[in-house]
Structure 1
Amino acid sequence: MKGVKLHVRVLALALLLIGVASTAWQIFVLNIPVSSETTEPVWVIDAKLSFTARDNSPVKVQMYLPPVWSKFITLNESFISKSYGVNTDVVGDNRQAVWSARRAEGNQQLFYRLMLTKRSNSRFSESEPGPQFSESPELIGVEKVAVEALLKPIREQSADIETFIREAIKLINEPSNDNSRLLLGNDYTQDNKSRVLELLLSSAHIPVERVHTLRLVSSVAQVSELWMRSYNGKRWLYFNPETGAQGLPNDRVVWWTGDEPMAAVEGGRNLKIEVTANQRTMNSIMLAQSIAERKENKLWALSLYDLPLQSQQTFEIILMIPIGVMLILLLRNVIGLETLGTFTPVLIGLAFRETQVFWGVILFTFITALGLSLRSYLEHLHLQLLSRLSVVLTFVVIIMALISVLGHRLGLDRGLSIALFPMVILTMSIERMSIVWEERGGVHAGKVGIGTLIAATLSHLMMTYEPWAYFVFTFPGMLLVFMSMMLALGHYRGYRLTELFRFNAMIKGK
């Protein structure tokens, strides 16, 4: 016996650990939310391209798109155009959309929409290898002298690539430095400062490239912001060419790299780009599912969310039955509540989903009372058990049909829902209650009937509790946890709560 108990305990512990581990893995690895009401912000970026096409000429429009290695996860992107074909290509480290049309004339508009989330992208890595050496440009005359004059203090005041670049940016933006002013040529635009920075760093054999970003701010017209980046042998370093600040802010999205503009048109003129960003909220479970679909995560294919919607709705009900059974197990084995059968209260509780508890209790009590009256009458006819049950079942069906018809005539929708009561369960409940009545009296039969309704009501409340329904459906590993608890209660031989009250009265009597 001890070996059996040990076996049960080990099995229960194993099921508990597996259930908890699978749930924790879904929460912390797959980032599945623990609540159905959890929402997360997502960003929708709209780009509008407008231009004038040359009459009856082929048109080709190219626009850079955010790369796959962006630190944000792309949920969806769409291309909207009329009479244009669209393709996406990978050009170096960039992605590019290409709209094309054989003939176009007049004003044209193209639209691009991107939805992304700030969740970390597994493809994003600051340690992705990059170039570590750059050929020095050939300089002559005063330009060569100015570059060498700037590089000398930069080398003296820097210790590594990061500090070297920051010192270079600092000197370029210093208005009193004659060498910087010479190289800038009185052109203090950000684009020209970036050119001079590239010149200085290339002369020091430090590779650097331009990074164009957009800022995630709602209701503000977006203008691409230029940053510079360089690979120091371990990771990519991002710098603001105006301030020298190192590191991209969290609200910046890398759109493309290089010297070329965001978009270009062939066969048209007066190209204009308008970019706007808006923040929205999205249900976290839908967000997690969208991310899994974008990543083609095969583990999500094993999720219940991958089933058709109708099947999902069915399993949302089925998966809650073990919770109702667990409650009945506690009520019977620990508390000592007597019911008609083991799973009868659970099935009645399921029927309460449509009738609601109040009307369900009334209809169940009414039909059971009529069935008991018929059962008492049939007892005098000395029928066999199977025949008696068949007659009672038919009587229950007739009563349910009459209640449905009367409910429809009187405009009572709850009367129609009586058809959802399990007929066989009602029949067996009537039979069992009549047997209890004969063996232990009407008072005890009434207690058992009341206990059944109490258990059915509690199980209904448990099985229809929305947070529980979501949690079990999303994390089915919890069923293993319930199974381990059922195994642990299987060897419970202690007093029930109702028995403690009984023996307490006996002790007081002594």
Structure 2
Amino acid sequence: MSEHNRHRRLLYWLVGILFLLAAAIFFVKLRYFDFSLDNRAGFFYRADASVSFDPEPGKEIRISISLPNRRTSGYSVDPISGGEKQFRTELQNGLRRAVLELPPRSGRQTVSYRFRLIPRAPVAEAPAAPPPVDSKLLPNEVAAARKAMLAAIDPENKLAPAALVTALLRALGTASAVERQPFTRQSGVAGTVEAAIAILAERGWPARPLRGIFLNESKIQQQPTLFLDVWYDNDWHVFQPNTGKPGLPEHFLVLQRKDSSLFEVSGAKNSSIRFSVTRVPAGAERLNRLRADIIGEHDLGGFTLFSLPASQQNLFKRLALLPLAILLIVVTRNVVGIQTMGTFMPVLIAMAFLEMKLLPGLISFLLILTIGLAIRAWLTRLNLLMVPRISAVVVVVILLMQAISIGANLLELPDFMGVAFFPLIIIAWTIERASTTWEEDGAVTTLKQLAASLATATVSYLVLASGYLQYLLYTFSELNLIILGVILLLGTYTGYRFTELMRFQPLVKQ
């Protein structure tokens, strides 16, 4: 008994140290480093432009990346340490570009240019009129195709410019490859924009592609998004190619708006670019500067979450709330006494709900579970061994996911197409366990556990979907020490669960 008490006291000391350490770090961040409990307080965006390429043997490599306009973008753009530090900023044709020159290399290479975007008030500038549309002679079939497309959209030539561009983009979006062939050889959005530029030239309206990125942390990495920029009524007007909707989306950063390229790579081939964007509290910058002064930039200068690449920060932000969701599972099972299908299955299902939204996720999960249980019941009659039976269930779940995605695509229900985010093996084991529980304990017990699992998954989803809690537990990651301490304390709880108190309540009354 004394040995048990000694270990218990050691546990209490450990939990106390965790609580004090978390409280001390939390207080120092708030008091001395300008961190804030308000997730809308001072912040800046950190962006990584990662260029991948295959070097050509013996050739020097030159990389050039277009940067946003400091005056009109609403952000001050400054390079930061990390990535390739040899980048320099050059002014080319009035546009700022980040340029990097490398000696000959071999093998697939990836270099990153990291920059900071600090919000500032944009400066309005008078739009520069483009040169007249090139009126060089076109092949007869191309000129005829342009006129035929415009005649089909606006036969009386009465549509307003915005309405005409919207109708044209929608028509090109549904046009077949043969119908678009006179204007472009590209497919997808790039082909739509190229064809629209060629067709609008018939009306004498200059147009150009516009590229940029979303300042969105939910995307771990993103490719540049393409829009159409059209000149009429003495101004430029932006349209979304896939819908024809006018205007730029919210929190969109324009990187390429003129005829210059978004990025260029010479001395290499098969080049591509991806961007990662994350939001960083203003206090993190002051903490980084102090850390660099004390321990040196080249020593342990990167020992902080905020110094990681933006894509890695976004990944850890998604994982920031997992400790809290796990604490919820511990409370649910050890204190409340609710039995679920698998210990952490509700949390994994809730993470899939984040990609699909709650209602489409619940419907998809119930559909897969119902059909899977029916097929699992049929497989029982075949007297299969356990491993082949579970393997068959896994294959069935894959086929069901494919069927749901195909149906969602045909019915234009994009939220249901995220069904592939469900943890495949976990669902297969849930079907197997639910079927076994049905055979051993009956349908009522099975349905209760499934309902408890879905209820717990829903609550976990509400926790994981909280933007404020994510900000709090990522910015103040030391709070995970408190969560760890609470979990350790709950590990010593040996009292009655709430559900057991409800069961034994008639005895207490008697």
From the superposition, tell whether residues 31 and 439 of structure 1 become closer, same or farther in structure 2 (CA, over 3 Å).
same
Q: How many angstroms does 1:507 deviate by? A: 3.3
Equivalent residue letter for 1:287: A
| CA positional deviation for 1:480 | 0.9
Within 5 A, what are the aligned runs for 1:136-151? Answer: none
Give the letter aligned to residue 18 of structure 1: L
* Cα separation, 1, equivalents of 2:290 and 2:326: 38
Residues 289-344 of structure 1: CA deviation (Å, up to 9, x unaligned): 44456667468733212111111110011121111100011111111111111111
Question: Are 2:31 and 1:28 equivalent residues in the alignment?
Answer: yes
1:33–1:284 CA contact under 8 A, matched in 2: no
Determine if contact 1:36/1:284 at 8 Å carries over to the other structure. no
- SS, match of residue 342 in structure 1: coil
Take 2:285 and 2:448, find their aligned partners in 1: how far apart are those partners? 52
The 1-side partners of 2:306 and 2:287 are apart by 11
Match of 2:439 in 1: 438
Q: In the alignment, is the contact (CA less than 8 A) between 1:76 and 1:115 conserved in 2?
A: no
Closer/same/farther in 2, CA of residues 502 and 287 from structure 1, 3 Å limit:
same
Separation of aligned partners in 1, 2:418 and 2:320 = 23
CA displacement 1:239-265 (0-9 Å, x = unmatched) = xxxxxxxxxxxxxxxxxxxxxxxxxxx
Instruction: Tell me the distance in 1 between the aligned counterparts of 2:91 and 2:384.
Output: 79
Q: Does 1:11 align with 2:53?
A: no
Partners of 1:457 and 1:349 lie apart in 2 by: 7
> Match for residue 331 of structure 1?
332
Counterpart residue type for residue 28 of structure 2? W
Contact persistence 2:34–2:282 (CA under 8 A): no
Tell me by how many angstroms 1:490 deviates. 0.1
Indicate if the aligned counterparts of 2:33 and 2:284 stay in contact, CA closer than 8 A: no
8 Å CA contact retained: 1:396, 1:423: yes
The match for 1:375 is 376
Change (3 A) 1:505 1:355: farther
Deviation per CA, 1:381-416, whole angstroms, max 9, x where unpaired? 121111111000000000000110011011011221
Q: 1:301 aligns to what SS in structure 2? A: coil
Instruction: Report the Cα distance in structure 2 between the residues aligned to 1:38 and 1:491, rounded to whole angstroms.
Output: 40
Residues 346-385 of structure 1 aligned to structure 2 (within 5 Å): 346-385=347-386
Q: What letter is aligned with 1:408?
A: N
1:339, 1:449 within 8 Å by CA — same for their partners in 2? yes
Q: Pairwise mapping of residues 147-226 of structure 1 onto structure 2 (< 5 A)?
A: none
Q: Which residue of 1 aligns with 2:283?
A: 288
CA distance in 2 between counterparts of 1:379 and 1:76 reads 64
Residue by residue over 1:91-138, the C-alpha shift from the partner in whole angstroms, topping out at 9 and shown as x without a partner, is xxxxxxxxxxxxxxxxxxxxxxx999xxxxxxxxxxxxxxxxxxxxxx
RMSD: 3.1
Q: Tell me which amino acid in the other structure corresponds to 2:306.
A: Y
Distance in 2 between residues matched to 1:293 and 1:504, nearest whole Å: 57
Q: 1:501 — aligned with what?
A: 502
Distance 2:340 2:451 in 1: 8
Contact 1:349–1:459 (CA<8 Å) still a contact in 2? yes
Work out whether residues 33 and 285 of structure 1, in 8 Å CA contact, stay in contact via their aligned partners in 2.
Answer: no
- 2:337 partner amino acid: G
CA distance in 1: counterparts of 2:398 and 2:475, whole angstroms: 37
Structure-1 separation of matches of 2:366 and 2:21 = 43
Q: Aligned residue for 2:403?
A: 402
The 3 A distance-change label for structure 1 pair 14 and 365 is same
Q: What is the Cα deviation at residue 430 of structure 1?
A: 0.6
How does the TM-score come out when normalised to structure 1? 0.51
**CA distance, structure 2, for counterparts of residue 409 and residue 297 of structure 1:** 55
Amino acid corresponding to residue 317 of structure 2 in structure 1: E
**C-alpha distance in 1, partners of 2:288/2:478?**
22
Partner of 2:448: 447
302 and 27 in structure 1: CA distance in 2 versus 1, 3 angstrom threshold: farther
| Aligned residue number for residue 68 of structure 1 | none
Letter in 2 for 1:393: V
Q: Give me the whole-angstrom Cα distance separating, in 2, the residues matched to 1:375 and 1:9.
A: 47
Write out aligned runs for 1:242-391 (5 A). Answer: 286-292=281-287, 297=292, 301-391=302-392
Query: Structure 1 or 2: larger strand share?
Result: 1
Aligned AA (2:23): V
- List per-residue Cα deviations over 1:29-51 (Å, max 9, x = no partner): 222112211249xxxxxxxxxxx
Inter-partner Cα distance in structure 1 for 2:339 and 2:323: 19
SS at match of 2:302: helix
Q: Secondary structure at the match of 1:492?
A: coil
- CA distance in structure 1 between the aligned counterparts of 2:364 and 2:407, rounded to whole angstroms: 13
2:487 corresponds to:
486
Contact conserved, 1:38 with 1:284, CA < 8 A, in 2? no
Deviations 1:191-247 (A, max 9, x none): xxxxxxxxxxxxxxxxxxxxxxxxxxxxxxxxxxxxxxxxxxxxxxxxxxxxxxxxx
Amino acid at match of 1:24: F
Larger-gyration structure (1/2): 1
Counterpart of 1:503, as a letter, is F
| 2:485 corresponds to 1:456 | no
* Stretches of 4+ aligned residues off by more than 2 angstroms: 79-82, 283-303, 505-508
Residues 22, 373 of structure 1: alpha-carbon distance in 2 compared, 3 angstrom cutoff = same
Distance 1:500 1:286 in 2: 46
Cα-to-partner distance string for 1:403-454 (whole Å, 9 max, x where unaligned): 1001101101122111111111100111111121122110010000000001
> What is the CA–CA distance in structure 2 between the aligned matches of 1:16 and 1:23, rounded to whole Å?
10
Distance in 2 between residues matched to 1:451 and 1:506, nearest whole Å: 26
Alignment-mate amino acid for residue 8 of structure 2:
K
Identity of aligned residues (%): 30
Provide the rounded CA distance (Å) in 1 between the counterparts of 2:383 and 2:457: 33
Is the 8 Å Cα contact of residues 31 and 288 (structure 1) preserved in structure 2? Answer: yes
Give 1:375 shift: 1.2
Equivalent residues of 2:35, 2:283 under 8 A apart: yes
* Cα contact 1:15–1:480 (8 A) shared by 2: yes
Return the offset for 1:14.
1.6
Structure 2: state its 5+ residue gaps.
Answer: 44-76, 80-88, 93-117, 121-277, 295-300
Q: Gapped runs of 5+ residues in structure 1?
A: 41-74, 83-113, 117-282
Tell me which residue corresponds to 1:93. none
Tell me if the contact between 1:351 and 1:420 (Cα under 8 Å) persists in the aligned partners: yes
Where does residue 470 of structure 2 map in the other structure? 469
AA aligned to 2:325 is G
Matches for 1:45-60 after TM superposition, within 5 Å: none
- Cα drift, residue 10 of structure 1: 1.7
Residues in 2 aligned to 1:367 and 1:115: alpha-carbon distance in whole angstroms: 45
Contact preservation (8 Å) 2:394, 2:428: yes
Task: Give TM-score scaled by structure 2 length.
Answer: 0.51
